[in-house]
Structure 1
């Protein structure tokens, strides 16, 4: 008997218990259900993978294409507050009824095939994009690339934003192993991009072996920071006088450069004017990526959850200027490199407020605190039962000229946003 409900929350609870494990790498099951559903989009598909930066890249792509007048479907994960954030059409989350409709279509097609939460949602997202009639779909890889459910759909363009250590238990414990997994989204004879300035040899070799048209940042495309604006260069020329993207952080220029390279590759099918490009860069929004809230003390939210992202956060915090005291609200998952994150950020933090998270894979707040102390990080370390109490303590202690930085994983940022700080 097939599950059915008009409630999105009941569907999500059903998906959480449908499959034996939360992560089950492989494409056979999801490909079979996609075939039964005839999910073969006629519109261009852009697939974006990478250790970090893929969310920002997808957000900029969606913003620019929408500014150009196209109907845009964007699929991303995880969500911060509501599941609907994962399935956006024209920059707006799909409503409950639309998602439930697509869930029903997947449920009807899968038969006795068991799907993970992410696999089920990925199929439903494409079903919704096709039902809505989007002009282009931007798909963010969930984990890795080669065996990720998103990879069941044939991309017209595939891009790897960055390659670094994360999810080692699934992807391997070296950049070479991880690079090969991420390069699995490339296709023979199709344009492929890599925005990592030092791509692993495995990624370069795989692209060459399958005959992908690989373009690498710094070689085939790139950018020049000209202080008040920036210039893009690529195979087909240059675009000067560009505004800095609304997303904060110096590294966003690399992401924006990748975005323009992708736009250029699809220009024959989806032409974008320079005006639309500039509007998209200026209007793009993505919560939790070095998000600075207005008011005092300064509050920064960032989903940095691995050393690669922590290095970018440390640079951004350093570039913000002087603050007498910086309070961290920090926590993470047990399979993350907490010591590596702390090592990169400890010089930017004066007081650590460690929150216990209420998710299955959460690390112990006490264990995180012990690792911070063992690292020799300066400043006080305090433990709290949740993010709400950690924030309350930081807010009481912080002066109006101080800074509060909340980071460590999506759950930390989601809990902060739910508190509506200020």
Structure 2
């Protein structure tokens, strides 16, 4: 294996199952790699809001002059997006070297694709002389690969129903899994306004320093600006975060609480907070691309995130016709997702996705038809997200809007050649 793609192909074949929850094999290889971090580590778990939280933490710490390492997953287009050092994605060549190092260290230990790549990225970051490390949990928390690292501050974002076959069928069970990233005596920021009781009970049971939304930190705001107050700091008159959507204030509040909790180790100024929140970027999170028609990209792929997407779409104002490109995994709870956004969509373009776990476009269309009550809505099926978007653009008028949502593969499918700049075919006279 010479290239990063060679290693990724190898990792996909290496382990008998895609998901194999458990940390014993990882810890064995991590010990051989001597994985250690001398700087503060922030670990972020939750159903929705993890990526936004990581991006805002990174942006503020970069503005404060710190060298950051960030690990997030999945990626939208290129695997290299998963690891950023001081704000820049690492090169494919650097990652290939890290994969080779892990392969040499693992011996006969079998690792999944996610475990192998996590160890490679953690090894890279452990050698990069960083001031702060930000780790996004891939799935759950307690048994996720990043949990081999003892966090200095855990952040738990919104908790809702997703990956239920693995994590459990209710919020309490799922919350218990995510609470596994907490460490005794260390801060845990819970930014979910109504967290499962299991999360609060676990924090108390292990003696974690619980920062709870509404008690230890909170925010307020009007149409122009917002303010935040925590245990030790207050910020007032702030511009809204560059990431769009009302739900981002909840995420930003958790970010500021985490930085407040770690202020003795990585202090940040009020100006770094303001600049970081104003400059943060994260593709695919209610990303609005101006044009004719306007394009909205969002990786909402479960009922909770689709509900937030629907609220944000409502707040955009009136559009004559809304076109929706949608692709999703087969294990998603499709009915509440389609019901929530259905009243806002006038034309559907269902798409296949390039992996076995995905629902087919025909299956998605059938699920939509089973719950659709509107007779004025059309739908079609397409081989890939790019083809679906092209048909939507051809059918759209300049004043319309197109939303592309669902799996990361759906949004990534339209971003693979760069951000599309749309120009409707039906221009007004």
Q: TM-score range by the shorter chain?
A: over 0.9
The residue correspondences of 1:46-85 to structure 2 (distance < 5 A) are 46-85=42-81
> Which position in structure 2 is the counterpart of 1:163?
159
Q: Which residue of 1 aligns with 2:415?
A: 417
Deviations 1:253-279, CA, capped at 9 Å, x for gaps: 011111111111111111111111111
Q: Corresponding residue for 2:95?
A: 99
Q: CA deviation at 1:149?
A: 0.3
Matches within 5 A, 1:144-155: 144-155=140-151
What is the rounded CA distance, in whole Å, between the counterparts of 2:34 and 2:284 in structure 1?
35
In the alignment, the residues of structure 1 paired with residue 93 and residue 385 of structure 2 have an alpha-carbon distance, to the nearest angstrom, of: 32
Worse overlay, 332-341 or 46-55 = 332-341
Map 1:165-244 onto structure 2 (within 5 A).
165-244=161-240
Match runs of 1:263-412 below 5 Å: 263-378=259-374, 379-412=377-410
Paired residues of 1:388 and 1:419 also in contact (CA < 8 A): no
The offset of 1:9, in angstroms, is 0.8
Deviation per residue, 1:158-179 (Å, 9 max, x gap): 0110110000010000001000
Q: Deviations over 1:46-102 (max 9, x none)?
A: 000000000000000011101111000000000011100001011111011211121
* Partner SS for 1:330: strand
TM-score by length of 2: 0.96
Distance 1:94 1:47 in 2: 20
Cα distance in 2 between the residues matched to 1:60 and 1:150: 19
Give how far 1:120 is off.
1.0
Which of 21, 40, 46 is the aligned partner of 2:17?
Answer: 21
Determine helix, strand or coil for the equivalent of 1:339: helix
CA distance in structure 2 between the aligned counterparts of 1:162 and 1:308, rounded to whole angstroms: 9
**Per-residue deviation at 1:419?**
4.5
Question: How far has the Cα of 1:341 moved from its partner?
Answer: 0.9
Structure 1 CA distance for aligned equivalents of residues 122 and 327 of structure 2: 33
1:321-340 superposed Cα distances (whole Å, 9 cap, x missing partner):
10000000001010111112
Cα deviation for residue 6 of structure 1 reads: 2.7
Matched residue SS, 1:132? coil
Question: Contact 1:48/1:161 (CA < 8 Å) preserved in 2?
Answer: yes
Note the aligned Cα RMSD (angstroms). Answer: 1.0
- 1:47·1:185 contact (CA, 8 Å) conserved in 2? yes
Distance 1:107 1:350, change over 3 A: same
* In 1: Cα distance, 2:356 partner to 2:85 partner: 31
Q: Helix, strand or coil for the counterpart of 2:380?
A: strand
Say yes or no: does 1:249 pair with 2:245.
yes
TM-score w.r.t. structure 1 length?
0.98
Distance 2:408 2:46 in 1: 17
The unaligned stretches of length 5 or more in structure 2 are 422-429
The Cα offsets for residues 326-377 of structure 1, whole Å up to 9 and x where unpaired, read as 0000010101111121011001111111111121101021111111111125
Q: For 1:276 and 1:206, how far apart are their aligned partners in 2? A: 33
The answer to whether the 8 Å contact 1:298/1:404 transfers is yes
* 8 Å CA contact 2:42, 2:152 repeated in 1: yes
Kept after mapping to 1: 8 A contact 2:233/2:260: no
1:192-217 alpha-carbon deviations (Å, 9 max, x no partner) = 01111111111111111111111111
Structure 1 range deviating more: 163-172 or 339-348: 339-348
1:36 Cα deviation after fit: 1.2
Q: Is the 8 A contact 1:373 1:381 kept in 2?
A: no
After superposition, the C-alpha distances for 1:227-273 in whole angstroms (9 at most, x for unaligned) are 21110011113211112110000110011111111111111111111
Give structure 1 stretches of 5+ with no counterpart: none
1:28-43 aligned at under 5 Å gives the runs 28-43=24-39
Contact 1:346 1:377 in 2 (8 A): no
